[in-house]
Amino acid sequence: MQQFDIKKIAPISPIAHAQSNGTVKWDVVNGMKIAVEFASADIEQARKKVLGVTDVSCFERYGVKGPQASQYLADREIAIPANPNAWTLCDQKTLVLRLGSSEFLIEDQLGGLACKKLAGDTMRVAGVYKVPRADAAFILSGSEVLNLFSELCSLDLREKSLSAKDVIMTQVAGISATVLRQTIGGEQVYRVWCDGTYGPYMWDVLLEIAVELGGGAVGLARYQN
């Protein structure tokens, strides 16, 4: 398992206080306190197969928009989708979401470095504006995910086929959210982002339905190599 960067003082995930009940193992990842384990590996792997809910708010993110945003990212060797409402994977470790014609969300998966490099770029470029990101972010896994979305999402994803590179902006549990389908470790999962202030509410709603359908909370450690 990857060694986490431990620090004595760290900000907590926007979801953390909704996870305080029960036995939770915490660690610090990318400078943020995050839940890495809720139960044994066997229990969590079983949950993942049915309907697992994982907090990944600790992933590094960088937002940028403006008429020159596309060129700005290209100049920094960030591969971008050709069309709006689409995503691509840069260097196998960085998600690049094109939220509109000129707005992008960059997210490093564990081990990715693109966001740190972008954040360290102090060059001011005309027509390029940084967009602060304070997302609550989730991985939803397992065979029952689409049934969960059918209860919570304003778009019925069982009827609307979400292609491998689509990004949709929709309502999940009444909250504005961004959703895409991704493959992690050979497993098809869905990603959800929402405003961090709604994170605890979103966690509670997702987890309640996950438990009803036979799944449950899954710690970040289950996505480590």
How many angstroms separate the CA atoms of 28 and 147, rounded?
A: 32
Please state, in angstroms and as integers, the Cα–Cα distance from residue 129 to each residue in 79, 123, 194, following that order. Answer: 18, 11, 21
Of all helices (H) and strands (E), which one includes residue 44?
helix 41-51
User: Residue 87, Cα to own-chain centre: how many angstroms?
Assistant: 13
pLDDT at 4: 46
225 residues of the chain, pLDDT tens digit each? 444 444 456 799 999 989 977 789 999 999 999 999 999 999 999 999 999 999 999 999 999 999 999 999 999 999 999 999 999 999 889 999 999 999 999 999 999 999 999 999 888 899 999 999 999 999 999 999 999 999 999 887 876 667 889 999 999 999 999 999 999 989 999 999 999 999 999 999 999 999 999 999 999 999 986
- Entry pTM: 0.92
pLDDT at 9: 63
Contacts of residue 186, Cβ cutoff 8 Å, sequence gap at least 6: none
